Structure 1
Amino acid sequence: MSDGRGIWSGVRERVLALREAPYWHEVFGAVHGSHGHRFELRPVLTEDEVARAERRIGATLPHEYRTFLLDVGGGGAGPDYGLYPLTPDDPLARRAALPFRAGHTDELAAHEALEPRPADYGDSAEEQTRLHREYAAWDRRWEELSDTLTDGTLCVGEQGCGYYTLLAVTGDERGTMWDDVRAVGEGVLPAARTREDRTTYAQWYLNWLRYAERRATTPPTERP
């Protein structure tokens, strides 16, 4: 255990202990067909391993996530279908050093409202050519804006149905959790579910652990 990071004290032991809980399999994500995290955790990383990952990514990891890797595990059991291991060689991970800006989602939404629509163009060959030209330009800009939504983040987990959980690594939102819900056209939104509130990595993980402990140890007949 590393020194001075009491927020994670005993957390690894609490997670692993849930493998013996009577209802552990009822916790969402613990079992998923032949997969699921099954309350297993990868080994913790060393300070040197984390530092090397940061150099490859090009950014210092937020404190709560960084100390989690050092004190709890390098991936495994966690919210939804569990935590991805840190993979700094992934080209997407290397985008974590780029600026993260929450307003990108609103910018994309504003651009979507400008989508060229056939009804606004005439039937002549000239008008149809203009429609195709302007739509192609609009589509290129849409792709650019969509790609920037996850700049400055690490994808730390999968929620299912094409949703993912992101950790902001740069910018004013550094250290906060975000939901990548582009699969349903909603962009990247705060994990707290409101635009005003924010959830840090430790709050996100510890809230899940408290839920998992209740679910895994409470008989169905005694649940609210």
Structure 2
Amino acid sequence: MIDKWAGVRERVARLGTRPARGQVFGAYGHQWALEEPLTEVELAGLEDQIGVRLPEEYRTFLLHVAAGGAGPAYGLFPVRRVQDRWRWEGDGADLADLSKLADPFPAQGPDPKSLDELLARRPEEEDFEEIEDFDDAIEAWDEQWYALVYAPERTAGAIAISHLGCALREWLVLSGVHRGTIWSDLRADDGDVTPLLDGDGKPVTFARWYTAWLEEAERLAAASPSEA
């Protein structure tokens, strides 16, 4: 597994020096910077805190490449120790319940019947004489929707690791039968949390997710006219 990460940090650094580095989506967010890798002692402390061993591809990345930084979309959320406690930092990283990371990740979302019932009760502006009353009603409805769709148990056993913009994110599953795979979070677009699949319909693991991004970034940088 360590061999999979050989030279990756150096490849990212080279991309950061290319004239076409800005052609890669999200690059202005991470600026091609990588955090220092974790030490064995730090990784052991992290896993002891969260109560679960990280998937092998991810834990070896943390040890041999970086604790976060340049990566897919706006970058890989870094894991940092703040006031003697470990946490992941990034736009939406706090959606993960760190006390539930050892719980099996659920493959299914909320009961469709519950969603349908709530959608059927969504307020419509034409049903209100005063716009203020409609605003209050839709705000209350939004709170119910958020509580159902973003319930902490929906993403138990997983961490948010990347932000794609517009509140869309990707998660890494740490526990359960889907351990080690990446899931796309489309709830901000009224979707669900669904597995990221490759061209053959197979679940994408962390290593494939990261290296596929790196390979595509290198291709884009090499093909850009600004490299001429």
| Shift, 1:95, TM fit | 2.6
The one-letter code sitting in structure 2 at the alignment partner of 1:17 is R
Q: CA, structure 1 residues 23+141, in 2 after alignment: closer, same or farther (shift >3 Å)?
A: closer
Show structure 2 runs of 5+ residues with no match. Answer: 81-85, 89-93, 123-139
Q: Does 1:9 align with 2:2?
A: no
Runs of 4+ more than 4 Å apart: 116-119, 139-142
Higher mean C-alpha displacement, 80-89 vs 158-167: 80-89
In the alignment, structure 1 segments of 5+ residues that lack a partner are 120-134
How far the C-alpha of 1:108 sits from its partner, in A, is: 3.6
Q: 1:166 aligns with which of 168, 171, 183?
A: 171
1:178 and 1:144 mapped to 2: Cα distance? 15
Between Structure 1 and Structure 2, how many residues are aligned? 195
1:152 corresponds to 2:157: yes
Distance 2:4 2:203 in 1: 18
Match of 2:103 among 93, 98, 102: 98
Question: What SS is found at the alignment partner of 1:59?
Answer: coil
Match of 2:19 among 12, 17, 22: 22
Pick the structure with greater CA Rg: 1
Aligned to 1:109: 112
For residue 217 of structure 2, the aligned residue among 186, 193, 212 is 212
What is the rounded CA distance, in whole Å, between the counterparts of 2:212 and 2:49 in structure 1? Answer: 31
Matches within 5 A, 1:50-65: 50-65=43-58
| CA–CA distance in structure 2, aligned partners of residues 116 and 86 of structure 1 | 37
Task: Provide the alpha-carbon RMSD of the alignment.
Answer: 2.8
The answer on 1:73 being equivalent to 2:78 is no
TM-score (normalizing by structure 1):
0.78
Distance 2:23 2:164 in 1: 16
C-alpha distance in structure 2 between counterparts of 1:89 and 1:221, whole Å: 39
